[in-house]
Amino acid sequence: MIVFDYFVNLSIFSLLVSTPLVIRSFIIRRSLKQMRLWIGVYAGLVSVILVILSVKQQGYSYDIRYAPVILVYAYLGPVPGIIAGSFSLITRLLSGGNWLPAIIGWVINIAILTGLYKYVPRLTPFQKSAVLFGGYIVGYLCTVFTFQILIALPFFHAQYLIFVLLGVVIGGLLIESNERLRRIIAEKNYMEKTLEVSESQYRLIAENTSDLIVLMDKDYSVSYFSPSHEHVLGYIRSELEGVELCKFVHEDDVAMFRGAIKKMFANSESHAMEFRLRHKEGRWIEFESRCRPVVGEAGSIDHVVIISRDISERKKAEEFLLQSEKLSVVGKLAAGVAHEIRNPLTTMKGFLQLYKRENPSMRNSDLLLSELERIEMITNEFLSLAKPQSIQLTDTDLKELIEKTVEFLSPQALLNNIAFIRGFAGTQFPITCEKNQLKQVFLNILKNAMESMPGGGEIHINLRVEAEEEYVISIKDHGCGIPEELLPQLGQPFYSLKEKGTGLGLMISHRIIKQHYGDIAYQSKGNEGTLIEIKLPIRRGQLPN
């Protein structure tokens, strides 16, 4: 019957311990230590109920009221433990006799539990419960032997201590399981929030970066395209889903691209490469890509992350730098060659003219003189390129400058059956410039246009204002034209489409236009003539030397 009573006590005790823990998990998110005083009061009430359900044996009451007291000590410390113990003592005194053993036993146990608690600060609560229960056994035996309580029934005392131990173990397991579950839930919530913040940050980066981010599978299909593809390449996401990236790669780069991806899947090594991707409008854009393999759970490479950056502007800058280096080399070469050639050339030309005067019947003298004059002209172009030009800015009228250039070339144009058709969208076009240099540009371009029409024709010269910021001079001929693939090479040193050309005229023209902060562009096709557009800012206070 006593054992049955103990089991009833244990069952009720388990229910009383687990119920608030379950309610707390749904309602209150605070830890146990944040509610220590209230828990001490609740543990005292549990002790009261356990005292009411106590077992009577020869005038003595036995219960497991010290189980919640020990647990409160272990998890929350002496203050809540003393509160819980006080409730149990008061109830014990009100419910039965033998007050002196009860009071003395309570004092001994509380003193032992409080003293032990100070020496076990680094143990876990469950370990503290075991130590404190050992202290309780000592206090209990001291009380039993002091007051000679049922000395003849050691089995009774043993089973009582076992059931108090069961109460401590069961209560500790319930509290530990609930605390562990609470920590798991808290960690899960923290991880979810951290993951949400991380995903939000990565999404913000992916949606606002100008770099292209791609996640590629082993079959070259793409499982993720960053939103930047729409901004950079013009494709919306629905147009890219389920499509191989190789379909957008330039045909000359596909083999290299596939080989690099295959090598990364095989060797698990990062790789950098450059390739061209097709814009939705049809043009090609150059990209520099950093590719990194992604290792899966099985240790194999499941995906490759490709981050690509548009390097078109960088390529243009490199090309401009290369062009500047070429010009520098040409300038140094021109300075040396011109000085070495000019003096003997002058001597040869002078003696040839003198010899022709003395021998009028000399054959091929005119041909020799024309060739020498041609060499002299090339030498002068070298000097013009190598020698720093002193720039004298003046306010002039662009229309007047073009008219004087056309007037200068009109006799030659008349001989070749060429007509200049002028169209000026206005009467005055003021500009601050170095007029002799601009005149040289117009001369070079118009002479090239005339030479492209050996059978005669028309050259259209138009001048207009664009966006009230710059003048646009367009020169259109109907000559032999230039193949489109050769247009980017115009203006490079020593590149010319004419049989005896040097390419220096256009190169010098390009330099002059750049010095005036302008731009020059070509449109042409074979046998369809050429259109040259020169853009110059309307006002510019200072030009570089």
Please compute the mean of the pLDDT values over residues 398-407 and round it to a whole number: 89
Provide the CA 307 distance to its chain's centre, in angstroms.
9
Rounded distance, CA 437 to CA 391, Å?
Answer: 9
Q: Which of 141, 150, 144 is nearest to 59 (CA)?
A: 150
Residue 125 tokens, joined: 């609560």
pLDDT tens readout for residues 202-246:
777 666 677 888 888 877 778 788 888 777 888 887 777 777 778
Rounded distance, CA 386 to CA 405, Å?
Answer: 24
pLDDT tens readout for residues 328-353:
666 666 666 666 676 677 777 777 77
> Would strands 55-57 and 60-62 be described as parallel, antiparallel, or unpaired?
antiparallel
**Model pLDDT, residue 295:** 79
Give the other-Cβ count within 10 Å of 310's Cβ: 18
Q: Indicate the pLDDT class of residue 138, thresholds 50, 70 and 90.
A: very high
pLDDT tens readout for residues 502-519:
566 777 788 888 888 889
**Model pLDDT, residue 384:** 61
387 pLDDT above the threshold of 60: no
Strand 418-424: give its sheet, edge to edge: 418-424, 457-466, 470-476, 530-537, 519-524
The dihedral sign for the CA sequence 392, 397, 402, 403: negative
Contact 270, 291 (CB under 8 A): yes
Please report, for residues 393, 530, 532, the alpha-carbon distance to residue 483 in angstroms, rounded to integers and kept in the order given: 37, 10, 14
Q: What type of residue is 433?
A: C
pLDDT tens readout for residues 445-454:
898 888 888 8
**Model pLDDT, residue 108:** 93
292 vs 56, residue with greater confidence: 292
DSSP assignment of 295-335 equals: E-TTSSEEEEEEEEEE-HHHHHHHHHHHHHHHHHHHHHHHH
Rounded distance, CA 185 to CA 232, Å?
Answer: 43
> Would strands 457-466 and 418-424 be described as parallel, antiparallel, or unpaired?
parallel
**Model pLDDT, residue 89:** 87
Please compute the mean of the pLDDT values over residues 465-494 and round it to a whole number: 79
415 pLDDT above the threshold of 90: no
Q: Which residue carries 């540009």 as its tokens? A: 441
Q: Indicate the pLDDT class of residue 405, thresholds 50, 70 and 90.
A: confident
Q: For helices 125-147 and 99-117, give the axis angle rounded to 10 degrees.
A: 150
Q: Indicate the pLDDT class of residue 460, thresholds 50, 70 and 90.
A: very high
Q: Indicate the pLDDT class of residue 475, thresholds 50, 70 and 90.
A: very high
Angle at 56 between CA 64 and CA 5, to 5 degrees: 55
- Radius of gyration (Cα) for the chain, nearest Å? 50
DSSP structure class, residue 248:
G
Residue 229 tokens, joined: 């593809």
Percent of the chain with pLDDT over 90: 9
> Would strands 60-62 and 394-397 be described as parallel, antiparallel, or unpaired?
unpaired
Please compute the mean of the pLDDT values over residues 124-141 and round it to a whole number: 90
Q: Indicate the pLDDT class of residue 541, thresholds 50, 70 and 90.
A: very low
As a whole number, the mean pLDDT across the chain is: 80
Angle at 219 between CA 214 and CA 225, to 5 degrees: 20
Contact 211, 221 (CB under 8 A): no
